[in-house]
C-alpha cells in the first residue's frame, strides 16, 4: 500500500507523535504506538528524509519505505491493510524514527534474531567430527529460502508486497529475503517514479500545447484589442473635438439664453407699453368723441349767437327807430 500526503516538515524526525496522531486518527495510532512500544520495529536504513524498516506485524513481517521530499510524505508498506492515509506499521516506524532520531547518510541495520539452533563454525565442526548438524541447518534454511523465493518470483517486479518471510527462516537467508524485498520495492519505486515522470512529462507537454494555444489566442485578442484601442483613441479624439464644439455651443447657448431673457424682458416692457398705449388710445378716442361733441356744441352756440346777434341788431335798429321817433315827437327848442 502506497500513499502520499502533503507535509510541512523538513525532516522525518520533526514528525512528533501528536502530528502523526492528528493525521491517522486515534485507533490506527494506538495500534502503531503499541507496535513501537513492543519493539517490533527494525530500522534498516535511515536519514533525515528517508527510512527503510521492517515491522513484525500480527500476521508476518512487513517492509516499509517512508520518504519526505518536496513537501510530500510518501509511505509504502507491504501489508494488505487499507488504513488511510497510511497504516499502523508506518505509524510505528515514524514513532521509532522520532524517538531514535536519524543521521544523514548513516545506515543502521537490525541484528538478526537469534537462531533457534546453534550454529557451528567450520573449525568446530571439523574438530568435533559432527559436520552433519551444520549441513542440516544450512540445508533447512536453503530449503525454506528456495520455497520462499519460488513464491516471490511471480510478484517480483510487479507487486510491492512479496510473500511474508517465514518466521522459521533465520540467519543469512532471512537477510537475503529482506534484501530481495527491498530491491523489489526500490525497483517498483523507480518504475513508479519513471511512470510519474512520463505522466508529468505528458502533462507538461499537454500544458505547453495548451499554453501555446492560449498564447495564440491571447496574441489574437491582444491584436484585436490594439485595433480596438486605436479605434477608441480615434473616437476619443472625435469626442474631444465634439466636446470642444459642445463647449462653444454651450457658451453660445448661454449667450442666446441671456439674449432671450433680455428679449423677454424687453417684450414684457413692450407689452406693458403697448397696453399703456392701448389705454391712451382708448382715452384719446374718448377725448376725440368729446371734442367732436364740444365742437358741435360750439358750432351750435355760434349759430345761436349769430342769430341772437342778428336779433340784437334788429332790436338795436328798432330802438334807434323808436329813439328817432321819440325825438321827433318831442317839441323842439330848449326845455
pLDDT, one tens digit per residue, over 172-188 is 778 888 888 888 878 88
**What is the rounded average pLDDT for all residues in the chain?**
80
Is the pTM here over 0.75, yes or no? no
Residue of 2, 29, 38 lying closest to 94 (CA atoms)? 29
What pLDDT band is residue 53 in, cutting at 50, 70 and 90? very high
Highest mean pLDDT among 145-149, 219-223, 284-288: 219-223
> Is a pLDDT exceeding 90 seen at residue 59?
no
| pLDDT mean over 106-123 | 40
Higher pLDDT, 196 or 90: 90
Report, as an integer, the average pLDDT of 243-258.
82
Q: Which of 99-108, 218-227, 250-259 has the lowest mean pLDDT?
A: 99-108
* Nearest-angstrom CA–CA distance, 151 and 170: 18
**Cα distance between residue 21 and residue 33, in whole Å:** 10
pLDDT at residue 116 is higher than 60: no
The distance from CA 51 to its chain's CA centroid, rounded to whole angstroms, is 41
**Listed ranges 3-12, 19-28, 94-103, 275-284; the one with the highest mean pLDDT:** 19-28
* Per-residue pLDDT, 31: 94
* pLDDT band per the 50, 70, 90 thresholds, residue 66: very high
* Res. 311: pLDDT tops 90: no
Over the stretch 118-141, which tens digit does the pLDDT of each residue have?
Answer: 333 333 333 333 333 343 346 777
Specify whether the backbone of 126 is left (phi greater than 0), alpha (psi in -120 to 50) or beta: alpha
The confidence band for 200, taking pLDDT boundaries of 50, 70 and 90, is low
Q: What confidence tier does 222 reach under pLDDT thresholds 50, 70, 90?
A: confident
| Residue ranges in 130-170 assigned as alpha helix (H) | 132-153
pLDDT at position 131? 37
State which H helix or E strand residue 62 sits in: strand 61-69
pLDDT at 94 over 90: yes
What is the C-alpha to C-alpha distance for residues 1 and 23, in angstroms, rounded to an integer? 17
Confidence (pLDDT) at 138: 63
pLDDT of 241 reads 85
| Contact present, 43 and 53 (Cβ < 8 Å) | yes
Higher pLDDT, 107 or 281: 281
Range with the largest mean pLDDT of 32-46, 91-105, 307-321? 32-46
pLDDT band, residue 115 (cuts 50/70/90): very low
- pLDDT score for 104: 42
More confident residue, 189 or 7: 7
Sorting pLDDT into bands at 50, 70 and 90, what band is 244? confident
Grid cell digits, residue 321? 327807430
User: Please, which pLDDT band fits residue 30 given cuts at 50, 70 and 90?
Assistant: very high
Say how many C-beta atoms besides its own lie within 10 A of residue 40's C-beta: 18
pLDDT given at position 43: 93
Specify the 3-state DSSP secondary structure of 142.
Answer: helix
State what percent of residues in the chain have pLDDT above 70.
85
Amino acid at each position: 500500500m502506497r500513499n502520499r500526503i502533503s507535509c510541512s516538515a523538513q525532516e522525518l524526525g520533526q514528525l512528533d507523535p501528536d502530528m502523526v496522531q492528528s493525521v491517522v486518527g486515534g485507533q490506527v495510532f494506538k495500534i502503531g504506538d503499541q507496535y513501537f512500544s513492543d519493539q517490533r520495529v527494525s530500522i534498516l536504513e535511515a536519514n533525515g528524509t528517508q527510512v527503510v524498516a521492517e515491522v513484525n506485524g500480527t500476521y508476518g513481517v512487513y517492509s516499509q519505505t517512508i520518504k519526505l521530499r518536496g513537501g510530500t510524505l510518501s509511505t509504502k508498506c507491504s501489508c494488505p491493510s487499507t488504513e488511510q492515509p497510511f497504516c499502523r506499521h508506518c505509524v510505528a516506524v515514524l514513532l521509532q524514527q522520532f524517538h531514535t532520531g536519524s543521521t544523514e547518510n548513516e545506515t543502521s541495520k537490525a541484528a538478526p534474531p537469534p537462531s533457534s539452533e546453534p550454529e557451528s563454525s567450520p573449525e568446530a565442526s571439523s574438530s568435533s567430527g559432527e559436520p552433519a548438524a551444520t549441513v542440516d541447518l544450512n540445508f533447512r534454511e536453503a530449503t525454506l529460502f528456495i520455497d520462499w523465493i519460488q513464491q516471490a518470483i511471480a510478484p517480483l517486479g510487479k507487486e510491492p508486497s512479496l510473500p511474508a518471510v517465514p518466521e522459521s527462516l533465520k540467519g543469512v537467508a532471512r537477510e537475503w529475503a529482506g534484501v530481495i524485498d527491498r530491491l523489489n520495492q526500490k525497483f517498483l519505486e523507480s518504475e513508479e517514479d519513471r511512470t510519474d515522470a512520463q505522466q508529468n512529462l505528458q502533462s507538461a507537454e499537454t500544458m505547453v500545447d495548451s499554453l501555446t494555444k492560449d498564447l495564440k489566442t491571447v496574441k489574437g485578442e491582444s491584436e484585436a484589442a490594439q485595433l480596438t484601442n486605436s479605434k477608441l483613441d480615434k473616437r476619443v479624439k472625435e469626442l474631444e473635438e465634439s466636446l470642444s464644439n459642445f463647449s462653444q455651443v454651450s457658451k453660445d447657448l448661454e449667450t442666446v439664453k441671456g439674449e432671450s431673457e433680455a428679449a423677454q424682458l424687453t417684450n414684457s416692457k413692450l407689452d406693458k407699453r403697448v397696453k399703456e398705449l392701448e389705454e391712451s388710445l382708448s382715452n384719446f378716442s374718448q377725448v376725440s368723441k368729446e371734442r367732436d361733441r364740444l365742437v358741435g356744441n360750439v358750432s351750435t352756440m355760434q349759430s345761436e349767437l349769430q342769430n341772437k346777434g342778428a336779433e340784437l341788431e334788429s332790436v338795436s335798429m328798432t330802438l334807434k327807430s323808436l329813439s328817432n321817433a321819440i325825438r321827433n315827437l318831442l317839441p323842439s327848442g330848449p326845455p
